[in-house]
Amino acid sequence: MYALLAHFLARIKMAKLIITLRIMPDSPEADLDNIEKEAIKEIKKFSGETELKREIEPVAFGLKALRIIFVSDESKSNLDELENNIKLINNVNSVEIVDVRRAIG
């Protein structure tokens, strides 16, 4: 019975999540390219090779936020560790998960 259940559960595909992070640098002079490079390293550690999209969002007085949108397995839904690791990147003031959506199909 348990072997049949295990076999059935192994065949079920987990859904994909589309996650949007907003990374706020600590100053307008912060190197967003370096922050992006380091954040992507952390994202790939978290979810493996994944599709990514990057956007720059003007905030105020020359300050710009970095938005990174990526795809991850639903099984890796605990984003606290990822958030904390990105917060440790040089010149990052804050990290916020602004959107999480389930991809169907």
Domain ranges in the chain are 14-103
pTM across the whole model: 0.82
Higher per-residue pLDDT: 78 or 58: 58
pLDDT score at 78: 80
What pLDDT, on a 0 to 100 scale, did the predictor assign at position 76?
74
pLDDT(83) > 60: yes
Task: Tell me the H-state helices in 21-90.
Answer: 32-47, 80-87
| Percentage of the chain modeled with pLDDT above 70 | 85
How many Cα atoms occupy the beta-carbon half-sphere of 74 within 13 Å? Answer: 9
The pLDDT value recorded for residue 103 is: 82
What superfamily in CATH does domain 14-103 come from? Ribosomal protein S6/Translation elongation factor EF1B (3.30.70.60)
